[in-house]
């Protein structure tokens, strides 16, 4: 019985001490050659960790009148990628190669991986970097695949979108 309690407590300690990242994308500008992805990352756990040097993304971009799925790999520029607990850091990354139409991409998913623990996926609707909750993201993506249409913004402006991302 005591061995079972020890195993359960070890599993709970492992679950509670694993690193959890929170990430906010500030900029993704395919026009820039160096540092085109700028993001804020915070280790929201009590365990010290670091960020792996590669950020991966998937997206849909226009090519010859149709949307195609694209992938990009970004290299984090900073050598010190350490993430102390509860201290946000602003980092930048440079894309290895981007397709020609990626400035007009939709349904972007960025994947950040800590040295240990689960990876963090950040989902944004388009290049205006509006964050979207996972369920809404998947519903809009399914609608996009079925109808070829995306969400209409109405009176949303670029300035309103940038303000919704928070202070930079």
Does residue 168 have a pLDDT over 60?
no
Q: How far is CA 88 from CA 30, 59, 79, 83, 140, in A?
A: 24, 26, 16, 8, 30
- At 123 the pLDDT is 96
Distance of alpha carbon 121 from alpha carbon 108, whole angstroms: 10
pLDDT per position as a tens digit, 63-107: 888 889 999 999 999 999 999 999 999 999 999 988 888 888 999
Distance of alpha carbon 157 from alpha carbon 152, whole angstroms: 12
Distance of alpha carbon 168 from alpha carbon 160, whole angstroms: 14
Does residue 158 have a pLDDT over 80?
no
Domains annotated on the chain, with CATH: 20-164 (2.60.40)
- At 93 the pLDDT is 96
pLDDT-derived band at 165 (thresholds 50, 70, 90) equals low
């Amino acid at each position: 019985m005591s061995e079972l309690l020890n195993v359960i407590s070890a599993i709970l300690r492992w679950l509670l001490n694993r690193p959890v990242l929170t990430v906010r994308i500030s900029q993704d500008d395919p026009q820039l050659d160096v540092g085109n992805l700028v993001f804020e990352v915070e280790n929201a756990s009590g365990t010290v960790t670091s960020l792996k040097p590669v950020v991966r993304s998937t997206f849909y971009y226009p090519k010859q009148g149709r949307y195609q799925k694209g992938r990009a790999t970004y290299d984090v520029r900073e050598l010190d990628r350490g993430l102390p607990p509860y201290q946000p850091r602003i980092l930048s990354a440079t894309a290895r190669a981007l397709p020609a139409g990626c400035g007009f991409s939709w349904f972007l998913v960025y994947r950040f991986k800590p040295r240990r623990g689960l990876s963090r996926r950040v989902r944004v609707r388009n290049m205006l970097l509006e964050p979207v909750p996972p369920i809404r993201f998947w519903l809009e993506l399914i609608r996009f695949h079925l109808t070829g249409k995306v969400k209409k913004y109405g009176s949303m402006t670029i300035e309103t979108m940038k303000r919704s991302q928070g202070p930079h």
